[in-house]
Amino acid sequence: MASPHSSSAPPPPADLEALQKRIAALAPDLPKRLRQCAEWVLAHPDRVAVSTVAQLAAGAEAPPSAFVRFCQALGYAGFSDFQTVYREGYLWPDYGVRLEKLRARGDRSAPGLLAAFVEAGRDSLETLAKTLDPADLEAAAALLARARMIHVMGLRRAGPVAGYLAYVFEKMEIPAMNHDLAGRLERRAALRPGDAALAISFAPYSEETVAFAEAAAARGLPVVALTDTLASPLHPHIRRALLVKEADVGAFRPLTATLSLASALAVAVGMKREEALSE
Amino acid sequence: MASPHSSSAPPPPADLEALQKRIAALAPDLPKRLRQCAEWVLAHPDRVAVSTVAQLAAGAEAPPSAFVRFCQALGYAGFSDFQTVYREGYLWPDYGVRLEKLRARGDRSAPGLLAAFVEAGRDSLETLAKTLDPADLEAAAALLARARMIHVMGLRRAGPVAGYLAYVFEKMEIPAMNHDLAGRLERRAALRPGDAALAISFAPYSEETVAFAEAAAARGLPVVALTDTLASPLHPHIRRALLVKEADVGAFRPLTATLSLASALAVAVGMKREEALSE
DNA sequence: TTATTTTTGGAAAATTTATTCCAAAATTTG
DNA sequence: CAAATTTTGGAATAAATTTTCCAAAAATAA
């Protein structure tokens, strides 16, 4: 039966998955310092296995004693017991060997495909870093940062890129509009003086995006293009071109490098706007 | 020639890869016990970060003092120094901090940001290859390949991923439907027996996607999830989870690894369907 | 074989790390 | 507003881990 005192204290989780759930469940009810520990631990699970209490506590901006109390609140005797769960949960299958295996299984299996995509992605990123002209990027960011509103367009394969940019711009509270043709609406009237346009298109270039760039240019807006070749039909209409070349896996071309460039562009625009505001 | 003693040993490697090479190179010339240590360490690199000398020495069937001598033979002051290299080698680089540094240096330039995103992307891909369970990927692909129709849902940050998948599925003529909530329509009636669902969601998880997974599960459809933690609220409803962790740059997390995984999944589904047809 | 050098393992010392404790501060309750 | 309770942070203590040291064993050279 239960021991004379303490009917409570459910046994502490023994595997990482359960432990993380428990932490997440418990966090809201914890006092401030302990909650900081909980949140930091959830955000940096990789560090727990290889750090000392002092280091983790410092990360969570709490004293080590608070961290130990946090472990005890979860039902463990102390930090060491708690850490053990993370250590066992993080015994990684070893790593170079793993990629080798993925590759060895050949292109037909799903994991083999993943290996191919991972490798293609890394190549694309390397190429991007090597070939992109920093001056172009800088100039494109400056140009968009000055705009009252940024009009983004990208269809088909470029669609997700446009969607991602719209999302990031909104997150940063930068006025932006994604011309995604939902409901077949072209919304050209939204293109106003003082705005800027960002057209994303890859071969085979979709007519609508080219027409969009042309319309924006005709209204005097500066147009930045994110595209794959200098021969792109967007060319006559644009102020700056950012070129990305993606490595392909068979007939498929993931958007790895393109999205990294898009991210950098968006954040750069955000920073430039902040600077401008604080001046 | 060199001075009688201390021809000054070369500095010990500071990164994991170099260290492992050095160990392999040194091992054959080491005396028996130290060689045992070297070999055990090469065979179990994951343990080094989370064990004590005593544990590692026991694994290598040598006394702790031998293990310490082994570390010193590599040029480190002792075990602790040696272990640090392993610990840092398995940690996620913290791009938030790195971005801070870029800022502090006054390098708010767009190219500086791009460098950070490229590096974060490469790390994300590496981690993906390292941590994804091939069996999960294989099973998820098989599961979706059997479906009459694949229902995809992903909102906010996951939106572009859902969009990309829908695009690729269409390209491959795989029946798929993106539940993007355009026009606030939920279209639950489309979920029919024989179909499968693919839910994409990252912290903070959007309610709608969780509800979608729940609805699909309630109708008996197998649900595959593409998500970031085991603590995801999608968990109760799904058949298979594919976990991706993206490195973040400051508050921003590009979708590099996620899209590579999505690509591999989509192409694998396509291949499996072709195989099935030709039988 | 003997002398010399290298390697070995256990035990003691030094250091680092975890845990407890308690007075002060903050919060909640009456 | 005062009393009771909870939370906090640092200092003291306890525990663990690492490192050094040295005599004995093994290997090598003469």
Q: Are residues A152 and A24 in the same domain?
A: no
Is the shortest CB-to-strand distance from A33 to strand D under 7 Å?
yes
pLDDT digits 0-9 by tens, A258-270: 999 999 999 899 8
User: Does residue A30 fall inside a structural domain?
Assistant: yes
pLDDT digits 0-9 by tens, B200-253: 999 778 889 999 999 999 999 999 999 987 767 788 888 998 999 888 887 788
Nearest-CA distance B203 → chain A (Å)? 11
pLDDT digits 0-9 by tens, B166-197: 999 988 889 999 998 776 667 788 888 999 99
User: Does residue B259 fall inside a structural domain?
Assistant: yes
Structure token pair of residue B139: 């099973």
User: Does residue B109 fall inside a structural domain?
Assistant: no
Cβ–Cβ below 8 Å for A110 and B255: no
Report which of B156, B254, B160 is spatially closest to residue A267, judged by C-alpha positions.
Answer: B254
pLDDT, averaged across chain B: 86
Residues of A in contact with B141 (CB under 8 A): 110
At residue A103's C-alpha, the angle toward residues A100 and A106, to 5°, is: 145
pLDDT at B2 over 50: no
Domain CATH number, residue B253 = 3.40.50.10490
Instruction: Indicate the range of A9-18, A82-91, B133-142 predicted with least confidence.
Output: A9-18
Q: Are residues A171 and A234 in the same domain?
A: yes
Residues of A in contact with B118 (CB under 8 A): 125-126, 128-129, 260
Cβ–Cβ below 8 Å for A259 and B259: yes
Q: Are residues B171 and B231 in the same domain?
A: yes
Is the shortest CB-to-strand distance from B68 to strand D under 7 Å?
yes
Give how many domains chain A has, as a whole number.
2
Q: How far apart are CA B238 and CA B165, in angstroms?
A: 19
Q: How far apart are CA B138 and CA B146, in angstroms?
A: 13
The boundaries of the domain holding residue B167 are: 125-277
Q: Are residues A47 and A168 in the same domain?
A: no
Cβ–Cβ below 8 Å for A252 and B263: yes
Q: Are residues A265 and A136 in the same domain?
A: yes
Residues of B in contact with A20 (CB under 8 A): 229-231
pLDDT digits 0-9 by tens, B139-167: 999 999 999 999 999 999 999 999 999 99
SS (H, E, C) A42-96: HHCHHHHCCCCHHHHHHHHCCCHHHHHHHHHHCCCCCHHHHHHHHHHHCCCCCHH
Q: What nucleotide is nearest A34 when CA is compared to C1'?
A: D7
Domain ends where: A59, A89, A119? A89
Q: Are residues B144 and B223 in the same domain?
A: yes
Q: Are residues A168 and A221 in the same domain?
A: yes
Q: Are residues B150 and B218 in the same domain?
A: yes
Q: Are residues A136 and A260 in the same domain?
A: yes
User: Does residue A181 fall inside a structural domain?
Assistant: yes
pLDDT digits 0-9 by tens, B229-242: 776 778 888 899 89
Amino acid A141 CA to nucleotide C11 C1' distance, rounded Å: 67
Is the shortest CB-to-strand distance from B71 to strand D under 7 Å?
yes
Q: Are residues A162 and A273 in the same domain?
A: yes
Nearest beta carbon to residue A91 from set B46, B156, B167: B46
For the segment B251-260, the average pLDDT, to the nearest whole number, is 89
Largest CA distance in chain B: 85
Q: Are residues A136 and A266 in the same domain?
A: yes
pLDDT digits 0-9 by tens, A112-137: 888 888 888 999 999 998 889 888 99
Q: How far apart are CA A252 and CA A246, in angstroms?
A: 10
Cβ < 7 Å from nucleic strand C: A 52-54, 64-65, 68-69, 71-72, 77-81, 83; B 31-34, 62-66, 69, 80
Side chain identity, residue B126: E
Q: Are residues A147 and A247 in the same domain?
A: yes
Domain CATH number, residue B85 = 1.10.10.10
So what's the pLDDT on residue A2? 33
Q: What nucleotide is nearest B65 when CA is compared to C1'?
A: C9
